[in-house]
Amino acid sequence: MEPTPGIFHAVMYPTAAFWPLTPPDLKTNFSPTISQSWGKSYLNPKNRIDSLAPVQNPSWRIDGGEADGTRFFTVPSFAIGQPPLRIDTYIPDPADHAPELRDILKANSAMLCESNQLANLSISQFILRILETWSRSNPQLETLYRAMPFGSRIVIDNICSDIEAIEVHLIPNYEVELQWLTVEALQRIWHLSPSAWPDIIDISCVQLQRQFHNAIALVNLHGHGTRNFAFKSVTTDLKFFYHELKLLLCMDAQPNIVSRPLYVVTKKCQFGGKVGVCGFILKYYSGGTLQETLQKRRAEGNLTTLEKFRWAREVATALIHIKDSPAGFYSDIKLNNIIMDERDDGLHAVVVDFEQRGGWYSWSPPEVYYTEYLEYVACSSHVDGEVRDRYTEILKRWKPDWEPNSRSVRYWNSEFGFNLAWVSLSKLERERAQVFMLGKLLWCLFEGVGSINSCVTAETFRDEVSEQHFPEFIRTPQHLRACIRRYASGATEWRGRYPTIMRRGNMLFPRSGSEMVDTGTF
């Protein structure tokens, strides 16, 4: 089957354990009549799209998008060089697009390519044409856009061949700004030394260049010429954002850990006038991620063993430093969170992202992701209330104060963050969990591959497709194989247990025969 966001809960997420083997809404029993086929056919002139060629002299662009293929980082030309407002464009689930357009627009392809390559897709060009048409019909759009609160949305209601019939809305979202905290409020909570704070600047000093990630934008700053910086900001789960800011301000500098914030950025709220902390400025590392580096170097045939050992040593050194810092642990080890710093003597590994949100299921140890499974089911709207109650009861027997709203975005000063699975571990258990994830990273590094390829999740669809998957050894030196086996010894893959859904190319298939060993989520 084709991957769409609407089927994730039924085939990939923990809720899949409570769905029938063939969920009713995934069955394809529709057999159109001849008249229905012509009415829906792309050969019918009324169903044809005028053009999907790039717009000449466009006034919009797409810098990237989320992995679910429904959120695109769209930027109007008048917003370039201006303070970032994080106004993204949202489209319906591809399954809800007009049937005659699905094969033409290939909206699912947005889930399968790197975020920085989205602009070349058919669905992206169609979105840009929709926004161009919408802009022309709204002469006051720039004024309205600039007046929107941070984190507002452009919502495309429907996808059909007639662009004039597509409804687009600019929807203000005040919730993000309401959740911001002032510098003074954060200082009252954290009690930091005044010297721990960098300079505070207003968002008017920040000039957007490119929004290549949902939380990171490439920006320039007033007074710094064309020098590039990274601006971190979020529009959901602000508690993780403030937790990361606190850790970065408290940790001592280390060459293989992202630099301390150069500036803290504030913005006056549209409603109420509060001046809240909306982001912070970091050094921009132009070398790309370790994942990109491994893929590129392997393709070019110039990935050296010396570099692999250097990067492995640098990541391990960073983790040791983190263990002895106020952060205490690092919960999201993966290739995308290792950035390459270009120095005079070559590329060096730098660990980024200190939200302590937790990692992907495919990278996490069982003691972490099983707890996260419990929480996911207990909070999911995709299972019956009886199932949610049962898993809530399990969690409460273990953590009596657990509540379904524990995923609230409201911030409080938690010492080790807000991920229940990691916070519940002892110090020794957290160290072991990190060693497990390090083992998987070392496998990728010494095998020279950009993904572990053993588990399908929404996030891993953008990983490279490879016939090799963890824990198959081909290129790793013999003496390191035992080390990796020991580090990641708890991985179910060693025992031949894999998820019941697998990816082949850009499609999902059930494992069958000898491939399907583990038939349940728990």
Terminal-residue alpha carbon distance, the chain? 24
- Rg of the chain on CA atoms, in Å: 24
**Residues paired with residue 263 on neighbouring β-strands, in sequence order:** 199, 281
The lowest-confidence range among 114-123, 345-354, 368-377 is: 114-123
Q: Domain 177-283 is in which class?
A: alpha beta
Is pTM, for the whole model, over 0.95? no
pLDDT grade, residue 519 (50/70/90)? very low
pLDDT grade, residue 520 (50/70/90)? very low
Pairwise pLDDT comparison (470 vs 106), residue with the higher score: 470
pLDDT grade, residue 517 (50/70/90)? very low
Domain residue spans in the chain? 39-172, 177-283, 286-370+404-522
The token duo for 59 is: 């006034």
In what helix (H) or strand (E) does residue 288 lie, and over which residues does it extend? none
Q: What is the pLDDT of residues 69-94, one digit of tens each?
A: 899 999 999 999 999 999 999 999 88
Indicate if the pLDDT at residue 215 is higher than 80: yes
Indicate if the pLDDT at residue 135 is higher than 60: yes
CB-CB neighbours of 308 under 10 Å: 21
CA dihedral 395, 497, 337, 11 (to 10 degrees): -70
Question: Using CA atoms, how far apart are residues 69 and 264, in angstroms rounded to an integer?
Answer: 31
- Starting at the edge strand found earlier in the chain, the sheet holding 199-202 runs 199-202, 263-268, 275-283, 229-232, 216-221, 206-210
The token duo for 507 is: 């499609």
Most confident of 29-38, 43-52, 148-157: 148-157
Q: For 191-206, what is the mean pLDDT?
A: 97
CB-CB neighbours of 1 under 10 Å: 12
What is the predicted pLDDT for the residue at 405?
A: 60
CB-CB neighbours of 205 under 10 Å: 16
The superfamily (CATH) of domain 286-370+404-522 is Transferase(Phosphotransferase) domain 1 (1.10.510.10)
Three-state DSSP state, 378: helix
The token duo for 460 is: 């891993």
